[in-house]
Amino acid sequence: MAINISVYTNTDAIRSSMGVDDVEIPDEKMSALHLEEELLLDLSIWLPNAQQIFDDAEFSAVPTLDQIQKGRTLKLFSQWFCAARALSIWLYYPQRISDGVQDMRRFSNLDLDELAKNAEKTANKYKGILLGLEGTPIQFHALLGKASPNYDPVTGNCSE
């Protein structure tokens, strides 16, 4: 049985993103990670109107296509954000599962850091889509730039 992490996602959706089931990571363990607090804090920083987006998509008598798309994207972001956070705490999960007859090693050939990074990339993809739908320009800043050797940034003069 899934537990709501917030109105935007639940433990079943998060586990499906991680590729695990409720036997490997029970709802109680998922709840103990406090994913709801992390998700809501993150959303409050860059999408303070998240609840309005959700309400418009879910509770409007006849939601527009734009409202539906924003609502779905918000749900997908929430699912993958929580999966990325949960995967980043990989020591929390059982490495070996056995019922006495069958034995399985879950993460023996996987790079868990890479799984977490992939989940974070997916969350960031949905974040970018949602920001674009909200009309917020997405700005990427270059780490390096060109500089003229003759330009003095203090005085603003260019000598030749």
* pLDDT per position as a tens digit, 64-81: 999 999 999 999 999 999
Query: Which residue segment(s) compose the domain that 106 sits in?
Result: 11-158
Place of tokens 């309400």: 55
Instruction: With CA atoms as reference, report the closest residue to 106 among 115, 118, 98, 97.
Output: 97
Residue 35 lies in a domain: yes
Looking at the predicted structure, is the pLDDT value of residue 141 above 60? no
Q: Assess if residue 3 is contained within a domain.
A: no
In a domain, 130, yes or no: yes
Q: Cα separations (Å) of 116 from 2, 38, 55?
A: 22, 16, 30
pLDDT, the chain, mean: 83
On whether residue 4 sits in a domain, the answer given is no
d(CA 73, CA 59): 16
Render pLDDT for 21-50 as a digit per residue (tens, 0 to 9).
888 788 988 888 999 999 999 999 999 999
User: Is residue 2 in some structural domain?
Assistant: no
Predicted local confidence at residue 88, as pLDDT: 85
* Total residues found in the chain within this entry: 160
Kindly report whether the global pTM for this prediction surpasses the value 0.85.
no
Domain count, the chain: 1
